[in-house]
Structure 1
Amino acid sequence: MAGTTTSTPRPPFDAGPSFNASAYLVDRHVEAGDGARVALRCDGADTTYAALAALTARAAAAFTALGVRREERVLFLMADTLELAAGILGAMRAGMVAVPVSTMLTAADLGPLLADCRARVVVASADFAAALAAALPASDAVTHLVVSGGARPQVPAGVVLVDWDDALAAGDEAAPGGAPVVAAGDDAGALWLYTSGTTGVPKAAMHRHANIRHVCETYGTQVLGIRRDDRCLSVAKLFFAYGIGNSLFFPLSVGAMAILEPRRPTPATVAERARADRPTVFYAVPAFFAGMLAADLPADTLEGVRIATSAGEALPAALQQRWTARFGVDILDGLGSTEALHIFLSNAPGDIGPGTSGRPVPGYEVEVRTEDGSRAPAGTPGMLFVGGESIATGYWCRTATTRSVFQGRWLATGDTYVEDADGRFTCLGRSNDMIKAGGIWVSPGEVEARLLEHPDVVEAAVVGGVDHDGLERPVAAVVLRDGGTVTGDDLVAFCREGLAHFKAPRAVLVRDTLPRTATGKLQRFKVRALVVEQDPLHAREAAPTGAPVP
């Protein structure tokens, strides 16, 4: 039926009522005789599955010794390191809830999250310990700050500062050999992930142990085809949904190796890591793919990579084609969300529709609905809904928002999509991103895709601006490649050559960067604010004939 697509899931892992995601990802490989296989590589140091299982058990014992009880939260503000991976897995092993948060947050940002999640123990890498310590007064629930890497920040009265190694030693004393795996069960809480907050205050999406298994058995196995000999490198970090799936869930679910990169991702650092560790699966976001092209990296930078994936926002076909032509690797663009834990719409190897999000991942139902809630026929835009076993149980302490977003077995994604006659889904933008120009709806994604076809443009964002008549018109903000000389007027003309005139931007702002979240998602509300501030439409209208405009 047009407007609805359902895929049949493969048989689930036979976990029984005591399922624990940590044991599923680590311990079962050791029990199967694969303890000597490399699970994680970080800065050239390898950790086997046996060593990871032991460290995970020690971390679980450490958190228990610090007073954390089952179903209580442990918050992590850490770089992508062995300690973070073991900490997340250790919390889940002990039946606690792991809460990794963005390392790009300031103390002012962290305070509300601490107060919201009410974690008793918080863990930080040395580089982020001061920021976390400064945020501690916002919560009266924190009893211990555990720091990895030797930093000694000042902490408020009532909070105990503990070194990571000392915490492990205390756990060893309380539970020699490490804490046992808790029989959690499918529905027990395992992981909270805060949404990126592009349109409001971040909310914690609550995920069960079963959700982790589901994304591994669906997208990981049936789309990526993740296998034991893979080496996975992700630009996206462990603190958000896309990254934790890429660097922890998928490789560990099959006994493969994850390559962790603690540094902030740049084309140079990722290229260095790729040359050193030779990944076979590479995960990034559209802005990073554009950055790699702009950085003029050698064509063999990703030699050995068999597949790349993209998520976070729609990948324009022009960018996809330029990147693949340069590096010789196909990109599987897909759509996921924090609330769904990972990708539920995706292109697949041998089945790539450039400019589309592909088809539903096996195990998910995807439906486009019109404004009245009915299923949209093929070719008709509407709101995208998804159903599947990895959908979060809701937002922590956000009843009204939970009821509007989580509707029975369906998740309202907030994305406007259209399904074609072949069952592929194409993103038209967020529901509140669509622009009505001259009474006709304009998709920002379509205009951005045209802008990115210009060889001088590496990033583009299109939003609605208001002209002197109070009418909404498309306005673009772009980032040019190094040495790019194209002007705003040139780009307006370029768009008019390839698009219907009503779709072309009326003005183009050239910027050094575009505002993005820690996950690489474009912050359109900040682009809108920039357009309001600079008012390029009025500047264009006021300029005399032949005068320069923004």
Structure 2
Amino acid sequence: MPSPTRYARCRGPPRRPPTAAHKARGRTAMIVSAHVDTFARDHLPPPDQWPDLPFELPGLRYPHRLNCAAELLAGPPDERPVFHTPDGPTWTYGELRARVDRLAHVLTAELGVVPGHRVLLRGPTTPWLAACWLAVLKAGAVAVTVLAQQRPHELAVICDMALVRHALCDIRSVDDLAKAEIPGLRITTYGGDAPDDLLRRPAPGAPYPAVDTAADDVALIAFTSGTTGRPKGCMHFHRDVLAIADTFSKHVLKPHADDVFTGSPPLGFTFGLGGLVVFPMRAGASALLLEQAHPKQLLPAVADHRVSVLFTAPTAYRAMLDDLDAHDVSSLRRCVSAGENLPAATWRAWYERTGLRIINGIGATELLHIFISAADDDVRPGTTGVPVPGWEARVQDADGRPVPDGEPGLLAVRGPVGCRYLADPRQRDYVRDGWNVTGDTYVREPDGYFRYVARADDMIISAGYNIAGPEVEDALLRHPDVVEAAVVGRPDEARGQVVVAHVVLKEGAVRDADALRAFVKAELAPYKCPREIVFSDALPRTATGKLQRFRLRTDGDQQ
């Protein structure tokens, strides 16, 4: 049985009656936590650095006591399917509930996990990884889900930042975690043959009573994927996990209970956690969990399992175009793209081949999932969309003043989920005057649609011209031989910066830089044309598929 829950007043909001500002930011002045280990709450940012958290949308007014794992597991009948695998048996909701309860008993009674402990989760995308995540949350602990591809140094940094002392790891992914030699870390493997394997340990068959966590107890710490350097730990509450389902999923994606979800993002990436676990479970639907989910594997999976909802990145949609004729994708009704900007050329090519309107979206680890998007007839290629119900967005200048429609500026958003970094001074940069400033340059069109321009630090200024790399990338991608493109600025004594395009071509295509430049000049104003083109076999990306532009800025030889 779990240890008795001990409530404690923890450092965080001040011990005084809530002010109007506190109420506006979605918190009260006195928080009662179920956490015995108060590390997470102790390392939240000071209250005056929190973003505003509006909860006006019906359905977002959650009770003060809430365990998101218990909520996700409740509802669907036991016999309903929840997780499919390519070759293994399908799990039902009843089986998942029983396995989560068993794991929670082992965590608390055998491994000594108490509410508030951070528990690292590592492994390929499987039902067991999802079950471990749910068990950690049901036991009141804090899930720290990392990528199976992360290396010992990266894992050591995360464990040090989050003071992790417990890890549940797929036996196939344990080597790098063991090599990290993290002081005090207790690693428990699952999926192996050892008697002390997590799945072989004795445990009661009785239901596990969910720990009575507060709605704003920290449920998970998600680490940014490292496109710019040292990761940041983003702390999200139990209510946040439900809020992403009750905003984007409910009002934009609109899933059915009979939907089958699948996708490429791993569960260590919040895009995948939402799309493959939270959203289907909140709707009583099911998900096909793929250990390998590259473009060549997604289309057969869609055909074989009659997948209806697909989550993946823009590059994957483009890569799958050539293979569409070989696979039956008639079961698809929803295609979601996030992780990086979706070029209009890719959207149109997918629509022409499938008749499906890709649901574009922008999300952030800091905000857990998608907050600007559009679906169905509201989709406008070349734009991201409009604020998801429950969210607000605006475009502002560096001083926080809104800029007129049609002019570029910094995207600022606020909604039921907000940025709360784990003991990180960069909190002041991300949250300004109650708004989350995402680091993206956007334009708000007069009709209210938001159009992506570039990452704020990726705008290229050449000879006095402002050039958005994604616009040049979109033009390059309209060339039939271009598979991937990334455009960055390189310092230049005469012009300040010059435009450099890194390009991946189709196999067998001729590497002709002059021909590509001529093509772009026919698509865009000449000053936007790349002065240099670098041909590559692949572009540098993080394990979650995000482009690492900082590596391209220091790339070597041009061709």
Asked if structure 1 preserves the Cα contact closer than 8 Å seen for 2:357 and 2:375, the reply is: no
2: CA distance, partners of 1:325 / 1:484 = 24
Tell me which of 368, 373, 381 is aligned to 2:400: 373
Measured against aligned partners, the alpha-carbon deviations of 1:208-245 in whole angstroms (never above 9, x if no partner) come to 00001111111001000112111101111111110000
Greater mean deviation of Cα atoms: 433-442 or 123-132:
123-132
Aligned partners of 1:9 and 1:218 also within 8 Å: no
Matched residue, 2:75: 29
Counterpart of 1:291 (choices 303, 314, 319) is: 319
Q: Counterparts in 2 of 1:389-408, with a 5 A limit?
A: 389-392=416-419, 394-398=420-424, 400-408=425-433
Which of residues 547, 552, 555 is equivalent to 1:522? 547
1:504 has 2:529 as partner: yes
Q: Give how far 1:415 is off.
A: 0.5
Aligned to 1:546: none
Structure 1 counterpart of 2:190, from 148, 169, 192: 148
- 1:386 maps to 413
What is aligned with 2:64? 17
2:96 corresponding residue in structure 1:
52
1:103 to 144, 148, 156: 148
Summarize the alignment of residues 471-510 of structure 1 with structure 2, pairs less than 5 Å apart.
471-510=496-535
Give the alignment partner of residue 61 of structure 1, picking from 105, 108, 112: 105
1:194-209 equivalences in 2 (<5 Å): 194-209=223-238
CA shift, 1:408, in A, is 5.0
CA offsets 1:500-526 (integer angstroms, 9 cap, x no match): 111111111111100111221111001
Conservation of the 8 A alpha-carbon contact between 2:511 and 2:535: no
Mapping of residues 127-526 of structure 1, within 5 Å: 127-135=172-180, 137=181, 139-142=182-185, 144-150=186-192, 162-167=196-201, 169=202, 172-173=203-204, 176-263=205-292, 265-293=293-321, 295-298=322-325, 300-392=327-419, 394-398=420-424, 400-467=425-492, 469=494, 471-526=496-551
* Native 8 Å contact 1:10 1:217 kept in 2: no
Going from structure 1 to structure 2, the CA distance change for 1:332 and 1:321 (only over 3 Å counts) comes to same
Output the TM-score relative to the length of structure 1. 0.88
Secondary structure in 2 matching 1:163: coil
CA distance in 2, matches of 1:119, 1:36: 36
CA gap 1:419/1:296 in 2 versus in 1, 3 angstroms: same
Deviations 1:265-288 (A, max 9, x none): 222221222122111111110111
Partner-residue secondary structure (3-state), 2:543: coil
How much does 1:140 deviate? 2.3
Q: Deviations over 1:30-85 (max 9, x none)?
A: 5xxx2211111123421111111111111111111201111111101111111111
SS in 2 for 1:432: helix
> How many residues are treated as equivalent by the alignment?
505
Partners of 2:56 and 2:309 lie apart in 1 by 23
Instruction: Kindly indicate whether the alpha-carbon contact (under 8 Å) linking 1:435 and 1:444 is maintained by their aligned counterparts in 2.
Output: yes
Instruction: Provide Cα deviations, 1:135-194, integer angstroms capped at 9, x if missing partner.
Output: 1x2x3231x211122277xxxxxxxx9412234x2xx15xx4142111112101111111
Deviations 1:332-357 (A, max 9, x none): 11100001100000121211111111
**Deviations along 1:100-149, whole A, 9 cap, x unmatched?**
101111112211112222222101112211111111x2x3231x211122
**Does 297-306 or 519-528 show the bigger shift?**
297-306
Name the amino acid aligned to 2:263. S
CA contact (8 A) 1:275 1:301 kept: yes
Distance 2:401 2:517 in 1: 38
Aligned counterparts of 1:193 and 1:428: Cα–Cα separation in 2: 26
Q: What CA deviation, in whole Å up to 9, does each residue of 1:3-54 have, x standing for no partner?
A: xxx999641166522211111111x215xxx221111112342111111111
1:112 to 134, 139, 157: 157
Instruction: Answer whether contact 2:54 2:416 (CA < 8 A) is retained.
Output: no
CA distance in 1, matches of 2:176, 2:56: 43
State, as a whole percentage, how many aligned pairs show the same letter. Answer: 37
Q: Output the CA distance in 2 between the equivalents of 1:120 and 1:194.
A: 17
For the residues of structure 2 that align with 1:112 and 1:379, how far apart are their CA atoms?
42
Distance 2:384 2:68 in 1: 28
Rounded to whole Å, the distance in 2 between the matches of 1:59 and 1:11 is: 34
Question: In structure 2, what is the Cα distance between the partners aligned to 1:275 and 1:228?
Answer: 19
Partners in 2 of 1:16 and 1:465 — Cα distance? Answer: 52
Is contact 1:9-1:362 (8 Å) kept? no
Kindly indicate whether the alpha-carbon contact (under 8 Å) linking 1:489 and 1:507 is maintained by their aligned counterparts in 2: no
Unaligned stretches of 5+ in structure 1?
Answer: 1-5, 153-160, 537-549
Q: CA deviation at 1:372?
A: 2.6
Q: Could you tell me which amino acid in structure 1 is paired with residue 303 of structure 2?
A: R
Give the AA of the match of 1:342. Answer: H
- Residues 145 and 162, structure 1, Cα contact 8 Å, conserved in 2: no
Partner of 1:547: none
State how far apart, in whole Å, the 2-side matches of 1:375 and 1:36 are.
52
CA–CA separation in structure 1 for the residues paired with 2:504 and 2:354 = 22
Measured at CA, do residues 58 and 227 of structure 1 come closer, stay the same or move farther in structure 2, by a change above 3 Å?
same
CA distance in 1, matches of 2:91, 2:60: 25
Equivalent residues of 1:7, 1:362 under 8 A apart: no
Question: Whole-Å Cα distance in 2 between the matches of residues 420 and 13 of structure 1?
Answer: 28
Residues 7 and 360 of structure 1 are in contact (CA less than 8 Å); yes or no, is this contact kept in structure 2?
A: no
Mapped contact 1:7–1:361 kept (Cα < 8 A)? no
AA in 1 matched with 2:421: Y
Distance 2:219 2:399 in 1: 36
For 2:107 and 2:433, the matched residues in 1 are separated by: 35
